[in-house]
Amino acid sequence: MQHEETVVILDYGSQYTQLIARRVREAGVYSEIHPCTLSSEALKAIKPKAIILSGGPCSVSDEDAPQLDKTVLELGVPVLGICYGMQLLAHTLDGGKVASSKEREYGRAELTLSAGSALWEGVDATTPRTVWMSHGDHVVAIPKGFSIIARTSSVEAAAMADPSRNIYALQFHPEVAHTEDGETILRNFLFKIAKVKTGWTMASFVESEVAALREKLGDDHVVCALSGGVDSTVVAVLLHKAIGDRLHCIFVNNGVLRQGEGEEVVSFLTEHFKLNLKYVQAQDLFLDRLDGVEDPEKKRKIIGHTFIEVFEREAKAIPGVKWLAQGTLYPDVIESVSFRGGPSVVIKSHHNVGGLPEKMDLKLVEPLRELFKDEVRKVALELGMPDSIIWRHPFPGPGLAIRIIGDVTRERLDILRKADKIVQAELHAADWYRKVWQGFAVLLPLKTVGVMGDDRTYENVCALRIVDSLDAMTADWSRVPTDILARISNRIINEVKGINRVVLDISSKPPATIEWE
């Protein structure tokens, strides 16, 4: 979709690039991330209202350092350089110079505003502002036409501006939460300097996306796999708004869902959203194939392949389907740039419906391709979804199969379901469910001795895995108050036959992972 008011962020490999894009969108302006290698023709075609140059891990003078195409500065579009982006401006423009610092400055710094600027409107100039720095190099000579507008104790040119050309630059990161007034500074750039208009709201997204889907799909039929998670549900509800019952949803119960999950999801979506939904109960097929399988990657493959097989069979039974809907999000679409470090290794093969579209000769429709996860949640709210869907913890495709270490039997599934239900219920009851990224129980292939009443028991151990995370790439164990942990443990041991010991996982990711398999 072509957006009227787009801010382009040219990515030089900073870990904060996505954060910049999100901050711009939070200000109500649509933003897109593109690799810094984007050609000036392609950039022109987007007709950006403003351009932001991100930070990055390189030094401008490195042999293979990504550079700035001078024509970007000749488009007449306001530019804001952040960190490496600022150094690039100094390196590229006449008179500017960048030098390496002996030490990398990392963390908080005190910023003193040393000259008035549209960037500083509404920012208190009387006391130093705390800002977040993360850089090795810094600008030692500013380019012709620029003036220094802020300094810190270690960097004389901590911000510089050339208002006549609308080029601004900051050595610190306005996009991170630790920077005081960072939001005001970014907003000043967008609204006071670049004069961008707001208009990117989730209500406007729903309206324009539904219209675009209608136009794109015409009278065609679409098939969509529902998982009960927020992404696939939002995809389905948007498409249903656009094409009604020509959207065919399929929910496959793979036998490794949580207690009552299949029925709950299906009845809610058919009753509340009137989705045209087929509930496929394939539990036995999946569980028979999982019989005796202990290797986690084999479990994933079996579940993935079986899912595709079942889904394909069901989808083929619907006449005239031309499209497959998927819940791809913006972070999956962004072309990532990696200037340092090799390709990332596959640690676990995540299960999705990959391979299906080509196999079935279907075209892909991805209504969420432009959205970040927090925006998907806002759309869900806009569409009237309940908190139980909007804030549901991520649940892996292979479900409880990778939370039962070793062989997945019906009996062990039953034990884990009961324990897991208690974990979910107690996190909700204590108002901790939304504070954590994921919280669940894992059933270990280990029996230990216990005592119940006068009897000796010899039963299973269950581990609690409760983590904080922003994106599942890194995670730390949640510091859940001990009284909540005590209640969970007590209830599991007393109420779940087959478990007589509960332990707590206190590992971070990395080096551990969130799931145990």
Rounded Cα distance between 502 and 345, Å, is 33
**Of 41, 64, 56, nearest to 9 (Cα)?**
56
Number of residues that bind ligand XMP (CB under 6 A): 14
- Residues 308-337, interacting with ligand XMP (CB under 6 A): none
- What minimum distance in Å lies between the beta carbon of 513 and ligand XMP? 3
Task: Find all residues with CB under 8 Å of 109, minimum gap 6, and list them.
Answer: 130, 131, 132, 133, 152, 153, 154, 155, 158, 172
- What minimum distance in Å lies between the beta carbon of 353 and ligand XMP? 11
Rounded Cα distance between 19 and 194, Å, is 20
Task: Report if residue 290 touches ligand XMP, rule: CB under 6 A.
Answer: no
H or E stretch at 482: helix 482-495
- Radius of gyration (C-alpha) of the chain in whole angstroms: 26
Among 143, 327, 397, 439, binds ligand XMP (CB under 6 A): 397
Among 351, 378, 412, 491, binds ligand XMP (CB under 6 A): 351
For the chain, give the number of residues.
517
CA 435 to centroid of chain Cα atoms: 16
Task: Report if residue 472 touches ligand XMP, rule: CB under 6 A.
Answer: yes
Task: Report if residue 417 touches ligand XMP, rule: CB under 6 A.
Answer: no
Task: Report if residue 403 touches ligand XMP, rule: CB under 6 A.
Answer: no
83 tagged catalytic: yes
- Residues 47-76, interacting with ligand XMP (CB under 6 A): none
Q: Please say which residue, 2 or 344, places its beta carbon nearer to ligand XMP.
A: 344
Residue 474 CA: distances (Å) to CA of 345, 349, 395: 15, 17, 17
**Of 156, 150, 137, 147, nearest to 85 (Cα)?**
137
Task: Report if residue 350 touches ligand XMP, rule: CB under 6 A.
Answer: yes
- What minimum distance in Å lies between the beta carbon of 398 and ligand XMP? 5
Q: Please say which residue, 258 or 351, places its beta carbon nearer to ligand XMP.
A: 351
173 tagged catalytic: yes
Q: Please say which residue, 339 or 395, places its beta carbon nearer to ligand XMP.
A: 395
Set 83, 224, 249, 462: catalytic member: 83
**Of 31, 27, 22, nearest to 51 (Cα)?**
31
Q: Please say which residue, 244 or 394, places its beta carbon nearer to ligand XMP.
A: 394
Amino acid code (one letter) for 344: S
3-state secondary structure of 199: coil
CB 56 within 8 A of CB 13: yes
x/- contact string, 151-190, with ligand XMP (CB under 6 A)?
----------------------------------------
- By CB under 6 A, which span of 64-72, 115-123, 348-356, 359-367 interacts with ligand XMP? 348-356
Residue 469 CA: distances (Å) to CA of 89, 227, 350, 474, 514: 35, 22, 18, 6, 10
CB 375 within 8 A of CB 25: yes
Task: Report if residue 509 touches ligand XMP, rule: CB under 6 A.
Answer: yes
- Residues 432-471, interacting with ligand XMP (CB under 6 A): 438
Task: Report if residue 201 touches ligand XMP, rule: CB under 6 A.
Answer: no
- What minimum distance in Å lies between the beta carbon of 228 and ligand XMP? 12
Set 32, 58, 91, 175: catalytic member: 175
Q: Which residue is associated with the tokens 């690799």?
A: 35
Task: Report if residue 515 touches ligand XMP, rule: CB under 6 A.
Answer: yes
Q: What is the dihedral of CA 278, 279, 284, 288, to 10 degrees?
A: 60
Rounded Cα distance between 158 and 153, Å, is 10
Rounded Cα distance between 431 and 435, Å, is 8
Task: Report if residue 244 touches ligand XMP, rule: CB under 6 A.
Answer: no
- What minimum distance in Å lies between the beta carbon of 431 and ligand XMP? 22
Task: Find all residues with CB under 8 Å of 332, minimum gap 6, and list them.
Answer: none
- What minimum distance in Å lies between the beta carbon of 137 and ligand XMP? 34
Rounded Cα distance between 115 and 112, Å, is 9
Among 56, 228, 255, 396, binds ligand XMP (CB under 6 A): 396
- What minimum distance in Å lies between the beta carbon of 287 and ligand XMP? 17
Amino acid code (one letter) for 116: G
- What minimum distance in Å lies between the beta carbon of 333 and ligand XMP? 18
CB 171 within 8 A of CB 159: yes
Cis peptide before 510 (omega within 30 of 0): yes
Q: Please say which residue, 23 or 258, places its beta carbon nearer to ligand XMP.
A: 258
Q: Which token pair is 43?
A: 């950039």
- What minimum distance in Å lies between the beta carbon of 57 and ligand XMP? 24
x/- contact string, 291-310, with ligand XMP (CB under 6 A)?
---------x----------
Catalytic machinery residues: 83, 173, 175
List residues near ligand XMP by CB under 6 A: 300, 348, 350-351, 394, 396-398, 438, 472, 509, 513-515
